[in-house]
Structure 1
Amino acid sequence: MTKPDLTDLTAQIVAFRDARDWAQFHNPKDLALSLSLEVGEVLEHMQWTNGDALTTRLTERREAVGEELADVLYYTLLLAHDLGVDLETAFAAKMARNAEKYPVEKARGSSKKYTEL
Protein backbone atom coordinates (compact mmCIF):
# COMPACT_ATOMS: atom_id res chain seq x y z
CA MET A 1 0.00 0.00 0.00
CA THR A 2 1.39 3.39 -1.01
CA LYS A 3 1.44 6.12 1.60
CA PRO A 4 -0.30 9.35 0.61
CA ASP A 5 1.84 12.35 -0.36
CA LEU A 6 1.21 15.98 0.61
CA THR A 7 -1.11 16.50 -2.35
CA ASP A 8 -3.22 13.50 -1.34
CA LEU A 9 -3.32 14.58 2.31
CA THR A 10 -4.28 18.13 1.36
CA ALA A 11 -7.08 16.88 -0.89
CA GLN A 12 -8.37 14.71 1.96
CA ILE A 13 -8.30 17.63 4.39
CA VAL A 14 -10.02 20.04 2.00
CA ALA A 15 -12.71 17.45 1.22
CA PHE A 16 -13.25 16.88 4.96
CA ARG A 17 -13.58 20.61 5.56
CA ASP A 18 -15.77 21.29 2.54
CA ALA A 19 -18.17 18.44 3.37
CA ARG A 20 -18.82 20.23 6.66
CA ASP A 21 -19.01 23.74 5.16
CA TRP A 22 -16.22 24.93 7.46
CA ALA A 23 -14.32 27.03 4.92
CA GLN A 24 -16.40 30.01 6.07
CA PHE A 25 -14.59 29.82 9.42
CA HIS A 26 -11.12 29.19 8.03
CA ASN A 27 -9.50 32.54 7.42
CA PRO A 28 -5.69 32.66 7.55
CA LYS A 29 -5.60 34.21 11.03
CA ASP A 30 -7.83 31.59 12.59
CA LEU A 31 -6.02 28.75 10.85
CA ALA A 32 -2.70 30.10 12.15
CA LEU A 33 -4.19 30.41 15.64
CA SER A 34 -5.46 26.84 15.46
CA LEU A 35 -2.03 25.68 14.31
CA SER A 36 -0.43 27.44 17.27
CA LEU A 37 -2.94 25.92 19.70
CA GLU A 38 -2.24 22.43 18.38
CA VAL A 39 1.51 22.98 18.81
CA GLY A 40 0.71 23.93 22.41
CA GLU A 41 -1.08 20.61 22.83
CA VAL A 42 2.04 18.80 21.64
CA LEU A 43 4.06 20.73 24.21
CA GLU A 44 1.66 19.84 27.01
CA HIS A 45 2.89 16.25 26.78
CA MET A 46 6.40 17.50 27.59
CA GLN A 47 5.68 20.15 30.19
CA TRP A 48 7.48 19.82 33.53
CA THR A 49 9.42 16.74 32.45
CA ASN A 50 13.04 16.33 31.33
CA GLY A 51 15.72 13.74 30.67
CA ASP A 52 14.86 10.07 31.02
CA ALA A 53 11.45 10.88 32.49
CA LEU A 54 10.61 12.84 29.34
CA THR A 55 11.75 10.00 27.10
CA THR A 56 9.60 7.57 29.09
CA ARG A 57 6.59 9.88 29.04
CA LEU A 58 6.81 10.42 25.28
CA THR A 59 7.13 6.68 24.70
CA GLU A 60 4.07 6.04 26.85
CA ARG A 61 2.12 8.80 25.10
CA ARG A 62 3.32 8.12 21.55
CA GLU A 63 -0.21 7.65 20.19
CA ALA A 64 -1.57 10.81 21.84
CA VAL A 65 1.45 12.84 20.71
CA GLY A 66 0.96 11.44 17.22
CA GLU A 67 -2.65 12.63 17.22
CA GLU A 68 -1.54 16.14 18.19
CA LEU A 69 1.18 16.12 15.52
CA ALA A 70 -1.48 15.06 13.00
CA ASP A 71 -3.54 18.08 14.05
CA VAL A 72 -0.48 20.29 13.49
CA LEU A 73 -0.09 18.78 10.02
CA TYR A 74 -3.81 19.27 9.32
CA TYR A 75 -3.66 23.00 9.97
CA THR A 76 -0.30 23.39 8.24
CA LEU A 77 -1.59 21.76 5.06
CA LEU A 78 -4.89 23.61 5.15
CA LEU A 79 -3.23 26.99 5.67
CA ALA A 80 -0.74 26.31 2.88
CA HIS A 81 -3.59 25.26 0.58
CA ASP A 82 -5.66 28.34 1.31
CA LEU A 83 -2.66 30.66 0.85
CA GLY A 84 -1.54 28.95 -2.34
CA VAL A 85 1.79 27.84 -0.88
CA ASP A 86 3.37 24.79 -2.50
CA LEU A 87 4.87 23.23 0.63
CA GLU A 88 7.11 20.79 -1.20
CA THR A 89 8.73 23.65 -3.14
CA ALA A 90 8.84 25.92 -0.08
CA PHE A 91 10.43 23.15 2.00
CA ALA A 92 13.07 22.39 -0.62
CA ALA A 93 13.96 26.08 -0.91
CA LYS A 94 14.12 26.48 2.87
CA MET A 95 16.39 23.46 3.25
CA ALA A 96 18.71 24.88 0.59
CA ARG A 97 18.86 28.21 2.46
CA ASN A 98 19.46 26.38 5.74
CA ALA A 99 22.34 24.45 4.17
CA GLU A 100 23.93 27.76 3.18
CA LYS A 101 23.37 29.33 6.61
CA TYR A 102 24.50 26.22 8.51
CA PRO A 103 27.38 24.64 6.61
CA VAL A 104 28.35 21.27 8.07
CA GLU A 105 31.94 22.32 8.77
CA LYS A 106 30.73 25.20 10.97
CA ALA A 107 27.46 23.92 12.41
CA ARG A 108 28.18 20.26 13.19
CA GLY A 109 27.64 19.66 16.90
CA SER A 110 26.78 23.32 17.58
CA SER A 111 23.45 24.77 18.68
CA LYS A 112 24.50 28.32 17.78
CA LYS A 113 22.40 30.41 15.46
CA TYR A 114 23.90 30.91 12.00
CA THR A 115 24.78 34.52 12.85
CA GLU A 116 27.04 33.24 15.65
CA LEU A 117 28.87 30.48 13.76
Structure 2
Amino acid sequence: MTTELEHLAVRLREFARARDWEQFHTPKNLVMALAGEVGELVAEFQWLTADESRDPDPDALARMRTELGDVTLYLVRLADVLGVDLVAAAKAKLDDNDRRYDADLYRGSARKAPPSPGEPGVPGEDGDS
Protein backbone atom coordinates (compact mmCIF):
# COMPACT_ATOMS: atom_id res chain seq x y z
CA MET A 1 0.00 0.00 0.00
CA THR A 2 1.27 3.46 -0.87
CA THR A 3 1.30 5.96 1.96
CA GLU A 4 0.47 9.64 1.78
CA LEU A 5 4.16 10.40 2.32
CA GLU A 6 5.05 8.26 -0.69
CA HIS A 7 2.44 10.11 -2.77
CA LEU A 8 3.93 13.38 -1.57
CA ALA A 9 7.45 12.22 -2.50
CA VAL A 10 6.28 11.29 -6.00
CA ARG A 11 4.54 14.64 -6.42
CA LEU A 12 7.64 16.51 -5.24
CA ARG A 13 9.83 14.46 -7.59
CA GLU A 14 7.53 15.30 -10.52
CA PHE A 15 7.43 18.97 -9.47
CA ALA A 16 11.24 19.17 -9.50
CA ARG A 17 11.54 17.23 -12.76
CA ALA A 18 9.00 19.46 -14.57
CA ARG A 19 11.09 22.52 -13.68
CA ASP A 20 14.48 20.89 -14.28
CA TRP A 21 15.29 21.46 -10.62
CA GLU A 22 16.61 17.97 -9.91
CA GLN A 23 20.10 19.36 -10.60
CA PHE A 24 19.66 21.65 -7.58
CA HIS A 25 18.08 19.05 -5.30
CA THR A 26 21.30 17.65 -3.91
CA PRO A 27 21.22 16.39 -0.32
CA LYS A 28 23.43 19.32 0.72
CA ASN A 29 21.14 21.92 -0.84
CA LEU A 30 18.00 20.26 0.44
CA VAL A 31 19.24 19.99 4.03
CA MET A 32 20.35 23.63 3.95
CA ALA A 33 16.92 24.68 2.66
CA LEU A 34 15.31 22.49 5.33
CA ALA A 35 17.38 24.20 8.03
CA GLY A 36 16.27 27.58 6.70
CA GLU A 37 12.62 26.58 6.86
CA VAL A 38 13.07 25.21 10.38
CA GLY A 39 14.55 28.60 11.27
CA GLU A 40 11.45 30.32 9.90
CA LEU A 41 9.29 28.02 12.02
CA VAL A 42 11.43 28.73 15.09
CA ALA A 43 11.00 32.47 14.48
CA GLU A 44 7.24 32.06 14.87
CA PHE A 45 7.78 30.76 18.42
CA GLN A 46 10.79 32.87 19.41
CA TRP A 47 9.15 35.40 21.71
CA LEU A 48 6.05 33.46 22.76
CA THR A 49 5.53 32.32 26.30
CA ALA A 50 5.09 28.59 26.88
CA ASP A 51 1.33 29.11 27.18
CA GLU A 52 1.16 31.25 24.02
CA SER A 53 3.06 28.56 22.13
CA ARG A 54 0.43 25.99 23.16
CA ASP A 55 -2.46 28.18 22.02
CA PRO A 56 -1.25 30.55 19.28
CA ASP A 57 -3.59 33.16 17.86
CA PRO A 58 -5.21 32.26 14.51
CA ASP A 59 -2.83 34.39 12.42
CA ALA A 60 0.25 32.92 14.10
CA LEU A 61 -1.17 29.41 13.71
CA ALA A 62 -1.70 30.02 9.98
CA ARG A 63 1.96 31.09 9.63
CA MET A 64 3.08 28.07 11.67
CA ARG A 65 1.02 25.78 9.44
CA THR A 66 2.71 27.24 6.35
CA GLU A 67 6.18 26.79 7.83
CA LEU A 68 5.37 23.23 8.95
CA GLY A 69 4.32 22.55 5.36
CA ASP A 70 7.64 23.89 4.07
CA VAL A 71 9.59 21.80 6.60
CA THR A 72 7.63 18.69 5.64
CA LEU A 73 8.18 19.20 1.92
CA TYR A 74 11.94 19.61 2.26
CA LEU A 75 12.20 16.68 4.67
CA VAL A 76 10.23 14.37 2.37
CA ARG A 77 12.23 15.50 -0.67
CA LEU A 78 15.55 15.01 1.16
CA ALA A 79 14.55 11.51 2.25
CA ASP A 80 13.46 10.67 -1.30
CA VAL A 81 16.73 11.90 -2.84
CA LEU A 82 18.70 9.88 -0.27
CA GLY A 83 16.51 6.80 -0.74
CA VAL A 84 15.48 6.80 2.92
CA ASP A 85 12.08 5.45 3.91
CA LEU A 86 11.08 8.26 6.23
CA VAL A 87 8.37 6.31 8.06
CA ALA A 88 10.68 3.32 8.61
CA ALA A 89 13.45 5.65 9.84
CA ALA A 90 11.06 7.36 12.26
CA LYS A 91 9.75 4.02 13.55
CA ALA A 92 13.30 2.74 14.07
CA LYS A 93 14.22 5.90 15.97
CA LEU A 94 11.10 5.65 18.12
CA ASP A 95 11.95 2.00 18.89
CA ASP A 96 15.48 3.08 19.85
CA ASN A 97 14.12 5.86 22.09
CA ASP A 98 11.75 3.37 23.70
CA ARG A 99 14.73 1.17 24.60
CA ARG A 100 16.93 4.06 25.76
CA TYR A 101 14.34 5.95 27.78
CA ASP A 102 12.81 3.45 30.20
CA ALA A 103 9.50 4.95 31.30
CA ASP A 104 10.16 4.26 34.98
CA LEU A 105 13.66 5.79 34.91
CA TYR A 106 12.86 8.87 32.81
CA ARG A 107 9.28 9.73 33.83
CA GLY A 108 9.07 13.48 34.41
CA SER A 109 12.74 14.00 33.53
CA ALA A 110 14.19 15.94 30.60
CA ARG A 111 17.68 14.49 31.02
CA LYS A 112 19.32 12.91 27.99
CA ALA A 113 20.05 9.19 27.87
CA PRO A 114 23.59 8.03 27.15
CA PRO A 115 24.28 7.27 23.47
CA SER A 116 23.30 3.85 22.17
CA PRO A 117 26.14 1.44 21.28
CA GLY A 118 27.42 2.28 17.81
CA GLU A 119 26.10 5.83 18.02
CA PRO A 120 28.70 8.58 17.57
CA GLY A 121 30.11 9.60 20.92
CA VAL A 122 30.44 6.09 22.34
CA PRO A 123 34.18 5.40 22.77
CA GLY A 124 35.36 2.32 20.91
CA GLU A 125 32.05 1.84 19.08
CA ASP A 126 32.55 4.16 16.11
CA GLY A 127 36.31 4.13 15.73
CA ASP A 128 36.89 6.91 18.26
CA SER A 129 38.69 6.30 21.52
Q: TM-score, normalised by structure 2?
A: 0.79
- Gaps in structure 1 of 5+ consecutive residues: none
Aligned length: 111
Q: Which has the higher helix share?
A: 1
Letter in 2 for 1:94: K
The structure 2 residue matched to 1:59, chosen from 33, 57, 60, is: 57
Query: Share of identical aligned residues, percent?
Result: 38
Cα RMSD (Å) of the superposition?
1.4
- Residues in 2 aligned to 1:65 and 1:72: alpha-carbon distance in whole angstroms: 10
Q: TM-score, normalised by structure 1?
A: 0.87
CA deviation vs aligned residue, 1:45-64 (integer Å, no higher than 9, x gap): 111221334445x3331111
Residue 17 (1) aligns with residue 45 (2): no
* Bigger Rg over Cα: 2
- Residues in 1 aligned to 2:92 and 2:100: alpha-carbon distance in whole angstroms: 12
- Gaps in structure 2 of 5+ consecutive residues: 115-129
- Residues in 1 aligned to 2:52 and 2:69: alpha-carbon distance in whole angstroms: 24
- Residues in 2 aligned to 1:62 and 1:53: alpha-carbon distance in whole angstroms: 11
CA deviation vs aligned residue, 1:17-64 (integer Å, no higher than 9, x gap): 1111111111111100000000000011111221334445x3331111
Of structures 1 and 2, the one scoring higher in RCO (CA 8 A, sep 6+) is 1
- Residues in 1 aligned to 2:102 and 2:21: alpha-carbon distance in whole angstroms: 44
User: Which position in structure 1 is the counterpart of 2:75?
Assistant: 76
